[in-house]
Structures are given as C-alpha cells and as structure tokens.
Amino acid sequence: MTTLPTTIPHTLTWPTIMILVWGRWLISVAFRLVYPLLTLLAASFTVDLNVASLLITVQVAASLISPLGGFVSDRIGDRATMLWGSIIFCIGSLICALSRSFGWFLLGYAVIGLAVAIAMPALQSYVSTHSRYEHRGRMLGVLELSWALSALLGIPLVTWVSERFGIAAAFGVLTVAAIATILLFLVLPNDRYATGASTVPPSFRSTLHTLRQSNVLAALGFVFIQLAAVELIFVSYAGWLSSAFAATTTQLGLVFGLLGVVELLGSLTATLFTDRIGKRRAVLGGFTLVGIWLLLLPQSNSWPVFLSLLLAFDLCFEFAIVSTFPLISGLNAQNRGTILAAMTACIGGGRIVGSLVGPWISTIAGYPLNSTLAGICVLIGVGMGWWLMYEGRA
C-alpha cells in the first residue's frame, strides 16, 4: 500500500534549487575525489597504495549507514538533517586538512563519509517533499545533475589544487565550502516538521513496517541487483581496455572524461523526459537498454565499437538510475527519507558486492564474462521489476 501525501506547500524556487544543487555538488565532489587522488594521497602520507585504498572502502561502507540518516530526517525534518550533515562534513574536511598522518586522514574521511550518508537522502527527500509527484522527475533530475558536474567541474579543480598546493590546501577549500553550505542551508524554507505541521513523525516501528512492505522491498532489491551488476563493468572496463586494445593512460583519461559528459547527458535526459514517459517505464526501459548493451559489449572487436557500446551503456544507466530516485520517492510520504536512505544503502551494498566479485571474475574467466553476467543480472532484475515493483504517487 502507498501512503497518501500530506498537504505540503510547494515552495521550491530556482534560488532554493540552486542552493540544493550546490550542496549535492559539494558532497559529490567529496565522494568522488579519492579516486583520482589515491596515488597522490599514498605518496603524501608515505603509505602503500593498498593501504590508501582503505579510503575507498570507508567511503562505500559509510553509505550502508544511510538508513540512520533517513530515519533522523523523517524524525526532525529534512532541512535540520541537511544542516547537521553539513556540520559533520565541515568537521571531517577540517580533520583531513590538519592531518599529518594517514590514520588521522582516514578518520577525517570517514567523518565526511558519515556526513554524505546523512545529508544526501535528506536533500533528495527535501526536494521530493516540496515538489509534486508529476514534476518530481524534473526536480530530482536537476538535483542529480550535480553528480555529473562534480566530475566535470569539481574533481579537476580539487586535483589541481592538491597537486599545486598540497592535500591540506584542497581540504581547506572544502572546509570553507562546507561553511558556506551551512549558511546557505540556513536560509532555506523550513520543511513540514520544522514548520509545526500536524503530521506526527514516524515511530521506529512504523518505519520498519514501511520497509517490510512488498513494493518497497521489491524496489530496494531491484536497486541492489542493478548496482551490483553494473559495478562488474565499472571496476573492470579500464583493465579491459588496456588488455584488449592496449589503451594508454592518456586514452583511459579521455574515456573517463567522455563518461563524465555522458553522465551529464543521461541526467539531462532523465530531467527532461522521465515525468513524460512515466517513472516506472523510464526506470525499467532504461535498465533494459543497459542489459542489452552489456550483452553486446563482449562482441565488439574494435576500439570504436567497444567505446560506443560502453558510452551507450553509461548513458542509459545514468538515465535509469536518476529516474529511479523520483520513483522511489513516491512509495511512501511519511517515511520518504528512510526509503531514499535505504536506496542509498542498497546502492552502496550493490557496489561493494560488484567491486569484490568483478576483479575475481575477470581474473578467473576474463573480462567478457563480467559484461555477460552483468547483462544477464540486469535483465533478470528488470523482469522482477515488471512483476513486483509498482509506482506510488506519494
């Protein structure tokens, strides 16, 4: 069953949206920056690259505690949760900026991961609460543009500052940006609980009851399967390009840049068309194309064909995953923050499974099997989605 939405003023304005996009962009930069900086971080703290990779483990593991942030968001309100997440982010980035050992830096980055886990579902819930369901794909799509923009605009800037002035300077900049975010969030309109609305915050028991509903479980299971499947490719495509087509480091960098552009195009497409297509159809149709491209990928015998299929896969994946947020947001109004946070946890859990299994499969049986298994799992998930996953309008 789907909880009917409460009467909520629809107060989203473009200045408000820009503040929310800024906040989402900042946490996206913090989430993604460790990948290009991993080698520099290892050298700066004189640790082995395998030790430095603990930062990625901590980052992904932090997403698993997102349901706690979602529950808090449903209890105290989305804006208050976003503020606390920004304060925690500021503390974490300051610890990283002042760190003189890898242990302290790891602690600071873990605090940043906690902040991201708390703030991101609250941001999505805030947008969902203050937008009508029929327009929510567009509103959440605009918010999710910040993910692609973080790769195109944020990561190059942070990398340049780190290489020229050092890691401490880069995280000093992030600390200043976090302080600015706190100030900007303070001017946002209060959400339903902070304004004294009569809606009673959900209890822990009612939250568990919501998460056990068949439609919610089906949607969360669907997200987990899809992310575990596509991660088999994300962890292996660089090695596949190097081994099959002798791609150089420069060429791999070009591919990463192209994927960033494709992510932006996928987000824009979802922003423009998800509401028109219908959220459930957009999600299931998008992931159907993802599965098809993955099954075709091992058949490519040249660099242009492989690259075209890889970009087509990433375009459809970005469209489908961005369309998933408004679909999930409509399942239950009272526990919206918790459900969106549970989705974040499923994304993180799926990525962990895929990142652990993917290298093992490619080592034992070769990269093409990664893509074939990923395509099969994606299409199985789509079949389960058509059968079990229904659209709410909360």
Q: Which amino acid is at 287?
A: F
Q: What is the pLDDT of residue 2?
A: 41
CATH classification (class only), 209-388: mainly alpha
CA distances, 22 to each of 31, 59, 113, 154 (Å): 14, 20, 18, 11
Give the DSSP letter of residue 202: P
Topology annotation, domain 14-190: Growth Hormone; Chain: A; (1.20.1250)
Q: What is the pLDDT of residue 189?
A: 87
Which long-range contacts (C-beta less than 8 Å, at least 24 apart) are formed by 3-8?
3/210, 3/332, 3/333, 3/334, 3/335, 3/392, 3/394, 4/333, 4/394, 5/133, 5/333, 5/393, 5/394, 6/192, 6/197, 6/199, 6/333, 6/334, 8/129, 8/130, 8/192, 8/197
Here the tokens at position 263 are 């992510």
What's the distance, Cα to Cα, between the start and end of the chain in Å? 11
- Where does the chain hold its CATH 1.20.1250.20 domain(s)? 14-190, 209-388
- Cα–Cα distance for residue pair 339/212, rounded to 1 Å: 11
- Residue 207 φ then ψ, to 5°: -65, -45
- Cα–Cα distance for residue pair 167/95, rounded to 1 Å: 12
Helix (H, G, I), strand (E, B) or coil at 195: coil
Q: What is the pLDDT of residue 107?
A: 95
- Tell me the CB-side half-sphere exposure of residue 345, using CA atoms within 13 A: 20
pLDDT tens, the chain, 394 aa long = 344 444 444 568 889 999 999 999 999 999 888 877 888 888 899 998 778 888 888 887 888 888 888 888 888 889 999 999 999 999 999 999 999 999 999 999 999 999 998 999 999 999 998 888 888 999 999 998 998 888 888 888 888 899 899 999 999 999 999 999 999 999 998 765 444 444 556 666 767 777 788 889 999 999 999 999 999 998 888 888 888 888 886 787 788 888 889 999 999 999 999 999 999 999 999 999 999 999 999 998 888 899 999 999 999 999 999 999 999 999 988 888 889 989 989 998 998 899 889 889 988 998 999 999 999 999 999 999 999 998 887 6
Listing DSSP states for 286-325 in one string gives: HHHHHHHHHHHGGG--SHHHHHHHHHHHHHHHHHHHHHHH
- Cα–Cα distance for residue pair 165/161, rounded to 1 Å: 6
pTM of the model: 0.85
